[in-house]
Amino acid sequence: MKHTPIRQVLSSETSLPDICVMGWVRTRRTGRDVSFLEINDGSCLASLQVVVDAGLPFHGDVARITTGSGLAVTGDLIPSPASGQAFELKAREIHVFQKAPESYPLQKKRHSDEFLRSIAHIRPRTNKYGAMFRIRSELAFATHHYYREKGFHFLHAPILTGSDCEGAGELFSVVTEEKGQEFFGRPAHLSVSGQLSAEMFALALGRVYTFGPTFRAENSHTSRHAAEFWMVEPEMAFADLGDAMDLAEEYLKFLVVWLRENGREDLELFTRFVDKDLAGVLECIQKERFARVSYTEAVDMLLHSGKTFEFPVAWGKDLQSEHERFLAESLFRKPVILYDYPKEIKPFYMRLNDDGKTVAAMDLLVPRIGELMGGSQREEREDVLYERMTAQGLSAEKYGWYLESRRWGSVPHAGFGMGFERLLMLVTGVGNIRDVIPFPRTPGNIDF
């Protein structure tokens, strides 16, 4: 019989005869006259109560069904006066696909996030992580919907690359098992960004975006960094820094509205059990106009804030997470877009401003996370781009294709990148990036 998702069953407004529901057992209560199973199929946060009357020939077998077992239940959906749900499933037939052993690690109690990371292949069956990964799916869909409606084309940027977008040198090398040979004839790496590829296509298709995995070999054990993570990177031709800032603000507001409308039940779990202030944070993002402050103004505000920071603040130094969070959480109490950074602390491709000291860069800072998005107007002038690359020690020969794009019909263009996992941390209140990605890849950990 065709499986009816529990999400669809629980949204029913009438009784449904002769349906089949498949899922995994969350709890079991057995009695002499009637037994109850609570099953969940992952389609929604709620589970469905199954009622097994004592008169059924298999009632005695229900006592041997264990937590975690996978099964199919055929029966009638009837009104439920006592289960807390409008309906329950009165079983006529139960088929057990597999009985889980007593050692099944998820029991009816709260488990720590640390423990659940050790069983990342099972943790999606918990309420918290089921909700997390449905939210992740929902926001991925919302991202594609948003950019399609805005006239962007989706680009699959290369994962294997010979270029380092950031110039940071924190790259994973790609080699074959046959040592001493380079498969591509030159060193190859896992990409840290799809931006350079996206620029090329924006200069042909007008508006494009990438959404895919990126990799950084940074030996960091902080709660905000992972070796493998996902980035959303839009690029727009005929656009300047202001256009990029407008898009970043509109996109984030769109995602928050979408999630509050389409992921309400899952979001409520995080509001109740993870972060009591989450609703207020999301309301602020949705309703407030984001602050826009230059890097120079922000440094001055930090210097005169009266607060002592672990890392000293000075013009020309990159801002740390504690500085970014102080701006968003304490000074402005809402998202902040900083712009016009010193050229020495930003990559070569950002457009040099007329003052010769700053570049047309932007970072979107949000409470509790710090930097969520980072971007810029790209340097469209070939001579200036060449000078910037040379000053940063980058090979003009290696990046010749990138320089050529500024020779053949170059136009102003801009874009940014957003860490998808940081977005998920923001909208759920979860404090560790390891808990918003299915199988986290961090230093010393490549399990599952």
Instruction: Please check whether residues 62 and 178 belong to one and the same domain.
Output: no
pLDDT band at 223 (very low <50, low <70, confident <90, very high): confident
- Asked which of 63, 98, 133 is the last residue of a domain, the reply is 98
Is residue 76 a part of any domain in this protein? yes
Both 216 and 353 in one domain: the answer is yes
H-assigned helices in 118-239: 127-149, 195-205
Mean pLDDT value across residues 105-109: 89
Residue 1 lies in a domain: no
Are residues 46 and 165 both part of a single domain?
no
**How far from the centroid of its chain's Cα atoms is residue 397's Cα?**
36
What is the pLDDT averaged over residues 19-44?
94
Cβ–Cβ under 8 Å, residues 246 and 289: no
332: amino acid identity, one letter: F
> Are 190 and 309 contained in the same domain?
yes
Tally the domains of the chain: 2
Model confidence band, residue 285 (pLDDT cutoffs 50, 70, 90): very high
Q: Which of 138-152, 163-177, 249-263, 354-368 has the lowest mean pLDDT?
A: 163-177
Integer Cα distance of 89 and 49 in angstroms: 6
Based on the fold, state whether residues 127 and 187 are members of the same structural domain.
yes
Q: How confident is the model at residue 32 (pLDDT cuts 50, 70, 90)?
A: confident
* Residue-wise pLDDT tens digits, 8-30: 999 988 998 999 999 999 999 99
Most confident of 75-89, 153-167, 204-218: 204-218
Q: Same domain, yes or no, for 30 and 136?
A: no
Tell me which residue range forms the domain holding 34. Answer: 6-98
Asked if the structure places residue 17 within a domain, the reply is yes
CATH number at residue 415: 3.30.930.10
In a domain, 444, yes or no: no
31 band by pLDDT with thresholds 50, 70 and 90: confident
Q: How far apart are the first and last CA of the chain?
A: 33
Check residue 165 and give its pLDDT.
61
For residue 259, give both structure tokens: 């999630």
Name the domain boundary from 69, 98, 127. Answer: 98
Q: Among 164-168, 170-174, 318-322, 341-345, where is mean pLDDT lowest?
A: 164-168
Closest CA to 291 of 339, 250, 334: 334
The answer to whether residue 57 sits within a structural domain is: yes
379 belongs to a structural domain: yes
Mean per-residue pLDDT for 314-337?
Answer: 97
pLDDT at 166: 55
Q: Tell whether the model's pLDDT for residue 2 goes beyond 80.
A: yes
Q: How do the residues of the chain divide into helix, strand and coil, expressed in percent and rounded to 5? A: 30, 25, 40
- Whether 238 and 274 share a structural domain: yes
Which segment of 120-134, 168-182, 230-244, 329-343 scores lowest on mean pLDDT? 168-182
28 shares its domain with 126: no
- Say what the pLDDT of residue 187 is: 87
Instruction: Summarize the confidence of residues 96-113 as an average pLDDT.
Output: 93
Q: Which residue has the tokens 């940063």?
A: 392
Residues 249 and 182 in one domain: yes
Question: Do 45 and 137 fall within a single domain?
Answer: no
Residue 105 lies in a domain: no
Q: Look at the alpha carbons of 371, 377, 381, 382 in this order and tell me if their dihedral is positive or negative.
A: positive
b/e 31-51 (16+ beta carbons within 10 angstroms → b): eeeebbbbbbbebbbbbbbbb
**pLDDT above 80 for 226:** yes
- The owner of tokens 């399609």 is 148
For 244, the enclosing helix (H) or strand (E) is helix 241-262
**For all residues of the chain together, what is the average pLDDT?**
94
Cβ–Cβ < 8 Å for 339, 241: yes
**pLDDT score at 167:** 55
123 and 241 both lie in a single domain: yes
What is the average pLDDT across 82-103?
Answer: 90
Bridge partners of residue 341, in order along the sequence: 359
Q: Closest by alpha carbon to 427, among 226, 230, 321, 285?
A: 285
Average pLDDT over residues 141-158: 98
With 80 as the cut, is the pLDDT of residue 239 above it? yes
Average of pLDDT values for 366-383? 96
Q: What is the Cα Rg of the chain in Å?
A: 26
Work out the pLDDT band at 378, boundaries 50, 70, 90.
very high
In Å, what is the CA distance from 355 to each residue of 15, 91, 245, 313, 383? 71, 75, 21, 22, 17
Considering only CA atoms, which of 197, 216, 189, 257 is closest in space to residue 419? 216
Which two three-digit tokens encode residue 201?
Answer: 């296509």
**Lowest-confidence segment of 40-44, 216-220, 395-399, 431-435 by average pLDDT:** 395-399
Last residue of a domain, one of 98, 132, 158: 98
> Is the confidence at residue 83, as pLDDT, over 80?
no
* pLDDT given at position 57: 87
Do 130 and 39 share a structural domain? no
Produce one character per residue of 372-397: b if its CB has 16 or more CB atoms within 10 Å, e if not: bbbbbbbbbeeeebbebbeeeebeee
Q: Give CA–CA dist 179/175, Å, rounded.
A: 8
Q: What is the CATH number of the domain that holds 91?
A: 2.40.50.140
Containing 239, the helix (H) or strand (E) segment is none
- Please tell me the pTM assigned to this model: 0.95
More confident residue, 356 or 2: 356
Lowest mean pLDDT among 83-87, 256-260, 316-320, 426-430: 83-87
What average pLDDT score do residues 212-222 get? 91
Pairing of strands 34-40, 48-53: antiparallel
Q: For residue 183, is it within any domain?
A: yes
Tell me how far apart the alpha carbons of residues 24 and 68 are, in angstroms, rounded to a whole number.
5
